[in-house]
Amino acid sequence: MVKLQGEKIVLATLEREDCKKVWEDTEYDFGQLTEPFIVGRSSANADAWFDEVQKLQGNTHIRLGIFLPDGTVIGDIALQDLDWKNRSCSLGYGLTKLKYRDKGYTTDAVKAIMQYGFSHLGLERISASTQESNIGSQRVLQKCGFTLEGRERKATYFPGKRQDRLIYGLLAEEYLREGM
């Protein structure tokens, strides 16, 4: 079982009940949509998500829950699409409830999983992408030392309009140089 300590959060292995809680607690910020709204989410889908997490864990993904110190699961974070040959992956994350956002939890979680990826797994590159409208995610990536590497123009259709996808990257040498 993986357990990583941040300043504000703990990253740990997701159990089936944690996946259900993340699934059930996810709220959408209709004032600033950052991901597609999924209608009709059910607990059965949460079970399927847990099974997928277990199938991919350690092979192509490392997905962990984001927990408060009291054990409350508030989201998830993943090193995805692990390419062991090229020692690279992409980063994905999300928090469930609106009340947990803008409190530094995501930044803390990203820093903890970056340390694990670069120092423990020996990754050389972590990339991330976000919608141009997702200012919060852009701030997290910038605070964590990621560099904006490019823009895929009008790459996504969301919410009801074409948007650019912003591509960020961080190299192990930059991470180590910054002493994050």
Could you give all domains of the chain from N- to C-terminal order, each with its CATH number? Answer: 3-178 (3.40.630.30)
Comparing 9-13, 98-102, 126-130, 149-153, which segment has the lowest mean pLDDT? 98-102
**178 band by pLDDT with thresholds 50, 70 and 90:** confident
Q: What is the mean pLDDT of residues 12-23?
A: 92
- Token pair, residue 148, equals 């904006």
Against a cut of 0.85, is the pTM above it?
yes
**Pairing between strand 62-67 and 73-83?**
antiparallel
Question: Which SS3 state, helix, strand or coil, does residue 8 take?
Answer: coil
- CA-closest candidate to residue 171, choices 152, 149, 150, 154: 149
Q: What is the mean pLDDT of residues 103-131?
A: 96
DSSP states along 126-163: EEEEEETT-HHHHHHHHHTT-EEEEEEEEEEE-SSSEE
Query: Is the model's pLDDT at 165 over the cut of 90?
Result: yes
